[in-house]
A and B are shown apart, each in its own frame.
Chain A
Amino acid sequence: MLEIRNVTKSYGRLTAVNNVSFTVRPHEVCGYLGPNGSGKSTTIKIITGMLEPTAGTVLYRGQDIREDLIAYKSLLGYVPEEPHLYSYLTGWEYLQLVGELRCLPSEALERKIGRMLSLFLLEDYKYAPISSYSKGMKQKILIAAALVHNPEILILDEPISGLDITAGLVFRELVSRLAGEGKIILCSSHELSLVENVCSDVVILHRGRVVGRGSIEELRQLRNQPSLEAVFSDLVASDNIESVARQMFELVMET
């Protein structure tokens, strides 16, 4: 079980994440939602151990991850929000680098990389530098890098950004299967269809605070809304959406 307990992260006077708590259990895919700038990516960086919280702890199996961060990182697979990759490496070389950094045996690693690239339809591009890849192709490399060592915990930040429809559907199915195998999965996304189809629980963050938590059904009933999209709007929209759109429209039409 992965438990985020009273986590706060401040940068000077700015509090990016404020007393956030939630739990992700094995067999569960937890959706992590929030508008831009709500603190999602900061929380995710804290959960991956890349950032230290100002207060609070992240517990894995009841133990603070910072007590043995390296052991925790070896169980973690992470897809970051932006496809920051070494552009002068080829897709194959990048995955080889990640596999070796994770100390995977070389023959099994090479076999796995070959199969992964083939299943992600990147076989023809495996010797091309990543700088020549499209956004979706880079995203596939990120996903493959996160999964190459069969992690126990998967942290996904906008995982289907840039993926084509087929790859997105494959990914959705893959995440469900991995959850079925007992993996702990946290998925942050603006794609509500992905969240509705894959996530069993949802945490909604707004201005650094958790404003909603529970299963999609619970949240819908609690907020008396017909869909997750409506629940989300109800919880985080500070202004009337129609009013904002009207004002934007009027601004655009100004000569």
Chain B
Amino acid sequence: MTFQAEKGQFVRLTRNFFTRFFENDLLSPQADFHATLSQALGLLATPGLFVPLLLLPLLMMDAEAARSWNIKLIFVFFSMLVMGVLSILEWDALMLDHRDQTILMPLPVRPRTIFAAKFAALAVFLVIFSVDVNAGSILLLPPLETQGNMGGLANLARFTVAHAAGTIGASGFTFLLIVSVQGILINTFPPKWFRRISTGIQVISVLGMLAVLFFFPAILEEMPRWKSEGAAMARFFPPMWFVGVSEVLEGTADPAFRSLARIGLCGLGLASASSVAAYAVAYGRYTRASLEGAVDASGATSRGRGMALGALIRGLLRNPLERAVCRFSLQTMLRSPKHRLLLAAYTGTGLALVLEESVALALQSGQAWKPAQEVVMLSLPLVISFFLLSGMRFIFNIPSELSANWIFQVTERREQTDYLAGARASMMLLVVAPVAAVVVIVYGFLFDLETALIHAAYCSLLSLLLVEALVWRLEKLPFTCSYVPGRIPVVMLLTAYWVAFLFYTHVMAFLEHEMLRSRPATVICISVLLSAWCGLRAYRRRAHVKNAAFVFHEEPEPVVCTLNLGG
């Protein structure tokens, strides 16, 4: 084969592998490549532009603030976080999958050409998204740093290069670290184990990144002290390494930053070397395993767990339709990688908030709690249940293997309430019951069993009311209908979520705090909640329209909306 022919194959394959990164239904289901790429680039670039603009009034008034390393830490942290989330979403696309191989292996393309093209596609992905994520801050921050003509254009260029090196280096480090972790896992574990561990790593990474995000304001506040004390938190917090790189390139004489920059460069070098080595070795192993069918992209099931779940559902639910929908919902959320990842994101957000509040409460241990802190303490299970239940409701909208939904269409029955009861039962089994159990254990340990049981009952009843509210207008069977994002304006949706969150967690926790002061109030309050739940259920059963068919295909908004003014 001539060099020219091989070069042509390489270019074609690189382009193909790059487009495959966007065949990810978590990014944008059913969209074409250019639309998805533009959306992804726009979405990721927006915060990079938005944050400097938000800080603009402050930074324009205070050039020193613009030059301070704390501001750089925000951008470097953001850069690492976004690239981390993106790499986790693309985890399955980092290696050649079974489909790529089935198509490419019979073709007269050298394996080294395929490998080089895949590697080049990864490099292109890294460069494009690193630049995109950081473009806003690279363009906006250096002019603010050099305002008041601090050395003119030469300094502007130097600051720009320094900031770009810090942020893009941080993005690159994160991406390469994740590639090398994947490579090491492939080389260490048998293929089937790798698939199971992968999902765990993805979920834990999302949880971890969200937890760090929520703690970041506190970290940012404490970092100057940690840095001046030479604390481990300053030395081992990776964003600080790349702040160090940026500061050194700007010409700082601070030895702490020189030391951090050295760690950052070593880390970047190590991540690059280990990712190339681990990827190269893992590539061959993964390719072979994938061709042999040993790497199964979905549905690693455990017989014992499946049977236990089956027995539990059979024991609790008498109606077959309810059982079918409940079991299917739980199986999808626990086994489908994309649904599991989305649920992990919601769980992570809830846990991070709980962790943040718990740390704040723990710092008060030894002192008597104030009423406001007691309210916070009571609100923690409500925070978790709010995020999990609203997360599940959102995830119900995301289809799972849409082409397989024909089975729900051909077996459709009239008893729509039974289908929805199955969806509700899955929420109760996955969220309401486990949260209540944890509340009894934790609050029983912290307070006494009676308080724990009352708190568990109160939280469970509120969760059940939330379940009713969330499933009230459900017109789709969970996971079976196509999804058109963006139907409700984001600002409106976020505002509604925020108001509901505050009411459900803080207002209701405050009410509970007041309720716990007297036994009659407790009895009345629990009875009111119980009656409200029973009343809602009874009303729903009566009000439900029989024969209303479920929606299995959601039509996108028309390109041109008419006003229907014609006769």
Contact = CB atoms under 8 A, between A and B. Distances in A.
A90 B298 CA distance: 11
A73 B412 contact: yes
A87 interface: yes
A162 interface: no
B562 interface: no
A98 interface: yes
Given A73-B411, A102-B411, A129 B324 contact: no
Contact of A131 (B297, B306, B328, B547): B297
Contact of B327 (A97, A127, A129): A97
B303 interface: yes
B410 interface: yes
Contact of A98 (B300, B411, B412, B414): B411
A101 B416 CA distance: 12
Interface stretch (B76-84, B87-95, B204-212, B401-409): B401-409
Given A74-B413, A97-B407, A90 B324 contact: no
A199 interface: no
What 8 pairs between A and B have smallest CB-CB spacing? A129-B299, A88-B299, A100-B324, A101-B411, A84-B403, A88-B335, A100-B320, A84-B404
B268 interface: no
Interface stretch (A4-12, A29-37, A75-83): A75-83
A132 interface: yes
A89 B324 contact: no
B86 to A, nearest CB: 24
Contact of A70 (B300, B320, B323, B414): B414
Nearest to A48: B410
A145 interface: yes
Interface in A149-201: none
A216 interface: no
Nearest to B404: A84
B320 A84 contact: no
24 contacts: A69-B412, A70-B412, A70-B414, A70-B547, A82-B403, A87-B401, A87-B404, A88-B299, A89-B335, A93-B306, A93-B327, A93-B331, A97-B324, A97-B327, A97-B328, A98-B407, A100-B324, A101-B320, A102-B411, A127-B306, A128-B301, A130-B299, A131-B298, A132-B296
Contact of B409 (A50, A88, A97, A131): A50
Nearest to A127: B303
Nearest to A105: B320
Given A50-B409, A80-B406, A145-B407, 14 more contacts: A49-B410, A70-B412, A78-B410, A86-B332, A90-B299, A93-B331, A98-B407, A100-B320, A100-B327, A105-B320, A106-B314, A106-B320, A127-B301, A131-B298
B403 A87 contact: no
Main secondary structure, interface of B, reads helix
A78 B301 CA distance: 27
Given A88-B332, A93-B306, A76 B298 contact: no
A88 B306 CA distance: 12
Q: Please tell me the size bucket of the interface on A.
A: 35 or more
A32 B6 CA distance: 48
B8 interface: no
A119 interface: no
A50 B410 CA distance: 7
Interface in B264-315: 293, 296-301, 303, 306, 310, 314
A85 B299 contact: no
A121 interface: no
Contact of B413 (A87, A93, A98, A103): A103
Contact of A103 (B300, B306, B321, B401): B321
A104 interface: yes
A100 to B, nearest CB: 3
A80 to B, nearest CB: 6
B408 A101 contact: yes
Given A97-B327, A98-B411, A129 B406 contact: no
B295 to A, nearest CB: 11
A131 B410 contact: no
B324 A101 contact: yes
Nearest to B414: A70
Given A88-B331, A88-B332, A97-B407, A131 B296 contact: yes
A91 to B, nearest CB: 11
B482 interface: no
B155 interface: no
A210 to B, nearest CB: 24
Contacts of B413: 70, 73-74, 101, 103
